Amino acid sequence: MYLFIVNQRSGNGGGKRVWREISQILDNKGVTYEYQFTESAEGAQAYLKEQLASPVEWKAVGVVGGDGTIHSLLPALRATGIPLAVFPAGSGNDTARGFGIPKKIPAAVDTMLQGLPRIADLISTTGRSTLTALAVGFDAEVADNVNKSRYKKICNSLGFGRLAYVIGVFHTLLTFRPADLTVECDGVIHNYSSAWLTAVNNVISYGGGLTICPEAKPDDGMLDICIVHDCSKLQLLMLFPTLLFGKHTRLPFVTMMRGRHISVHSSLSRLALGDGEQIASTPLSVSADPGALMVMCPLPK
């Protein structure tokens, strides 16, 4: 049997439409399933823990929603061996993008029913688990401003989720100031006098498809880090278009590294978001959590 957690409000109400199509497909195929609509992250997590502790043999847990919905369920899914099946219905959908989950609902259903379970790492920090990326600094402020904005709802309703993040960049530039930064990666210390952001990634993209760490792999036991430092506002703005294609890595004000254990310190407290959800602030310590999750992925072509 399959278990579904459905966030009807994700993607400005898109989750409800996605679930309607999923349930119709499952009914036509004669697939047995149970589902629960989420009212809150805490309620969804409690329900999932209760169901996973039952004697029912769950084949997979389907999550209909965005990256934030998936993030809220990671504590219950971690180390259970029960695969996560992703049905993208949010504004960013970087989890789906990172694991090659199809956007079209019938194909996503087929991935759950006939796909290949893939081992995935998690990003562990301050007792919290993150699946896609941990954003620290400017990028975190952008995501936080977008999540609190009216323009996110408007962009989602028009089907332009990425546009909300573009608007968020200009919005955040009005108030954000770079500061000194110290990043320790597997015991090696790196100091920057004026840093804008630190992205710690498990998959290649964040922020709705920005390819911030193009070499990241979610199952290699390593974390990929991108640091943007010592540049002007204009250079920062020019950076973002290159993120769509991962062409920023050779810029002189971009530093890429990889490691298993990372710490981030700054003289100014910097917001940290995991999977687009606020989880901490600097100083913080981050570690790879190898093989902590299973994700249903499409069969190799």
Average pLDDT for residues 268-291, to the nearest whole number? 94
Q: What pLDDT, on the 0 to 100 scale, is given for residue 226?
A: 98
Q: Which residue has the higher pLDDT, 41 or 180?
A: 180
* Residue 3 DSSP code: E
Q: What are the chain's domains?
A: 2-121+293-297 (3.40.50.10330), 133-289 (2.60.200.40)
Q: pLDDT digit string (tens) for 63-98?
A: 999 999 999 999 999 999 999 999 998 878 899 999
Residue 218 sits at φ, ψ, to 5 deg, of -75, 0
- Euclidean distance between CA atoms 171 and 76, whole angstroms: 35
**Which structure tokens are listed for 238?**
């020019």
Q: pLDDT digit string (tens) for 226-247?
A: 999 999 999 999 998 898 889 9
Q: How far apart are the first and last CA of the chain?
A: 27
27-45: burial string, b at 16+ Cβ within 10 Å, e else = eeeeeebeeebbeeeeebb
* 273 has a pLDDT exceeding 70: yes
- Given the structure tokens 């003289």, which residue do they identify? 267
User: pTM, whole model, 2 decimals?
Assistant: 0.91
